[in-house]
Chain A
C-alpha cells in the first residue's frame, strides 16, 4: 500500500518573512510543441537544486472550434477537417509531471489544466494519482479558458468532494453530487491522497468576482502586476478578503510572475534586458545578483507578494544563473530556505492540510 507521508503541520508564520519561489515552463512565448523531455528534466532538476517550492507547467491553447472539441464523433464527417496539425503532440502537463516524479524528490509539481475540456471525475482522479505517486507534491493550476466562473467553482467543489470521499483511514464511501453543471454519483477509485487535496492554484482574474473566488477557495494565486504599488494594493485587498471566509492570511499565498535578468554590473544587466524583449506586464528584476536578491526580499517584506513565479528565458541555462547566484544571497539574508523542511508541497508553501469533510 502507498504509505501516507507524515507531512505534519508546518509552522504557520516563520520568524522572518520567507520568500516562496517557483518556475514556469515554458519560459517564453515559444510553443512547447518541440520541447523534448530532456528540457523538462533539466528545468526540474535546476529548480529543485534551487530548493524552489514548485515547477509549474503551462498549457498550450487548444485548437479552434466549439469548446476546442474535435468534431463530434457521433456525426459522420470527415475527421480530417478542423484538426489543427499544431495541436497534436503538445505535451499534456499531468503526464509530464508523473514522469518528472521519477527524476525529482522534493519539488512541487503543478499542472495547468483547463476545466473547460475535462470532467471532474477523471481530472480529480488524475490529480489524486499524481499526488500519490509524488508522495504529496501535486498542484493544479485551475485554468478556465471559456468556462463561466460558476462552472469553475462547481468543478472545484466536486473535485474536493471526490478527494474527500475516502476517509483518511482508507474507507471508500459513495459520493453523489447534483448541481447546476454536474450531476454525478458513484465511488472514487483513488484513496485520499497524501496532501488531502492537491494544492489549488488560480491565475488572478482582475474582476471583483474573480478575486472573491480566489480568496474563498484557492491555496495560491498567480498575479501579473509589474508595478510594486499596484501589487501591494492587490495583495492587501485579497488578503483582506480572507477573514470573510474564515481563513487566515497565511492560508492563501500570492505569487507574482516575474522575469529576471542578471549581469555582473547593473549596466550589463540592463543591456541584456533590452535584448531580451518585453516582460509582458510582469514584474521584472534587472541587475546584479545582489540587487535582485535585495529587491525580491524587499518585495516580500513590504507586502507586494509572498513570492515569485519566475518565467525564465527559454534558452538552456535560463534558470541556472538565478539558482547559482541569487538563491545563495537570499539564503544569506534569511529570506529563503536552506533546505526543504518537509516533503509535501503544502509544507513548502506553509499551507495547512485541508480539513477532511466527511
Chain B
C-alpha cells in the first residue's frame, strides 16, 4: 500500500517511560496497548544503571504476553554486561514476544556506573560506541547462525540506535536498523539522515535498509489553542531535552505529514511529556488523522517488528550476500 504522497507508510514509535522511578507496571501495559491500538510500530522503554528504575527489558518481557502485535524495544547497555548475556536476554525477549523485540543499544559513560561493576574505569565515549557496535555485530552473527536451523528465519531483533550524540552515528550507520535523530525542522533531520545513509553505504549496506525516525518530545496538554510562536503549527522548539512540540494533536498530524512529505524521515519517535494524557491524544487524535489520510496503517498486516518496519534480513548480510534477501 502506497500513501497518496508516494512515499512509504509512516512509521510511528512512542516512549512509554514514566516520570516516577518505580511505577506500576500495569501502566506500562496500558500505554503499550494504547500505542498498539494506534498502529504504532513499536514502543521504547529507557534504562540506565545511573538512576533508579527497573530493568527495562524485564518490564517489556512482562508486557509481551499482554500485547499481540506492537514491537517492544528496551534500552540495553553494552558497556558492563557480558556480550553473551546481552544477546541471550534480547533473543529471549524476541522469543516471548514472538518476533516483536528490538533493543535500543546504549553505552554507560560515567565513572559512577563503572564503580557499580568494579571491572574497568569509565572509557572514552568513542571507544564505548565502537564496543557497542561489536556487541551488536556478535549478537547478529549468533542469531543468524541460530536462524540457519530455524523455521522462521529473519526474526533477528531490530537494532535501534539514538544517533543524537555524534559519537553514536558511526555505530548507527553501520549496525542499526532504526536510527533516531533530532532536529527542529525537516532540513536538519534530512541532513543527518543523508550523513547516516552515506556512511551506511560506505560500510557496504543498502542505505534504504536504515529507517530514520525523527525524535520529538510532545506536550499536547493545552490542545490546539496552545500554538504560540515557535510552537504548535509553527514547529518544534529546541530545548535541553531535544526538540519539543507543544500544541494540539491536529497540528501535530499536520507537522508529521509535512515532514514525511519532504522525505526527511521515515517516521517519528514521540516521547509524551505526560504519558497517559498525551499518548491517548496521540492515538485518538494525531494517529487517527494520519490513518484517515492513508499515511499510517490501520491494522498490522505482519506479526513481527521487522515486518512492521518493512525490513528484511539483518543489515550485515548485505556485506556478505550483496543485497539479496
A interface vs B, CB < 8 Å? 1-2, 33, 36-37, 41, 62-63, 68-70, 73-74, 79-80, 83, 85-92, 94-96, 98-99, 101-103, 117-119, 121-122, 125-126, 129-130, 132-133, 172, 182-187, 189-191
Contact = CB atoms under 8 A, between A and B. Distances in A.
Contacts of B25: 2, 132-133
A126 B91 CA distance: 16
B51 interface: yes
A172 B52 contact: yes
12 contacts: A1-B22, A1-B24, A33-B146, A63-B84, A83-B145, A88-B91, A98-B62, A102-B65, A118-B85, A125-B55, A189-B49, A190-B52
Contact of B93 (A95, A121, A172): A95
Interface in B1-43: 20, 22-25
B95 A89 contact: yes
A91 B52 contact: no
Contacts of B82: 69-70, 117-119
Given A73-B134, A98-B62, A117-B84, A132 B95 contact: no
Nearest to B84: A70
B58 interface: yes
Contacts of B93: 95
Question: Interface SS of chain B: helix, strand, loop or mixed?
Answer: helix
Contact of B59 (A37, A96, A133): A133
A85 B116 CA distance: 32
A96 B138 contact: no
Contacts, number: 161
A122 B79 CA distance: 12
A68 B65 contact: no
Interface in B35-89: 49, 51-55, 57-59, 61-66, 80-85, 87-89
A68 B138 contact: no
Nearest to A97: B61
A85 B52 CA distance: 36
Closest 9 CB pairs of A and B: A88-B142, A99-B96, A98-B61, A88-B146, A85-B145, A89-B146, A95-B92, A102-B65, A92-B88
Contacts of B280: none
Nearest to B101: A95
Contacts of A182: 118
A83 B142 contact: yes
A132 B54 contact: yes
Contacts of A62: 84
A193 B236 CA distance: 41
Contacts of B20: 1
Nearest to B49: A189
Interface size of B as a range: 35 or more
Contact of A99 (B22, B65, B80, B91): B65
B116 A88 contact: no
B163 interface: no
A111 to B, nearest CB: 11
B101 to A, nearest CB: 10
Given A88-B87, A186-B115, A95 B24 contact: no
Interface string B129-154: 00100110110011101111110000
A85 B146 contact: yes
A125 B113 CA distance: 14
Given A90-B88, A95-B58, A102-B64, A80 B116 contact: no
B230 interface: no
A166 B303 CA distance: 41
Contacts of B95: 36-37, 89, 91, 96
A68 B82 CA distance: 10
B187 interface: no
Given A37-B96, A73-B83, A85-B148, A189 B53 contact: yes
Given A89-B95, A95-B89, A189-B49, 19 more contacts: A1-B23, A37-B96, A69-B84, A79-B134, A83-B145, A85-B142, A85-B149, A88-B143, A89-B142, A89-B146, A99-B62, A102-B64, A117-B84, A121-B116, A182-B118, A185-B116, A189-B52, A189-B54, A190-B22
Contacts of A130: 58
Interface in B99-129: 112-113, 115-119
A132 B80 CA distance: 23
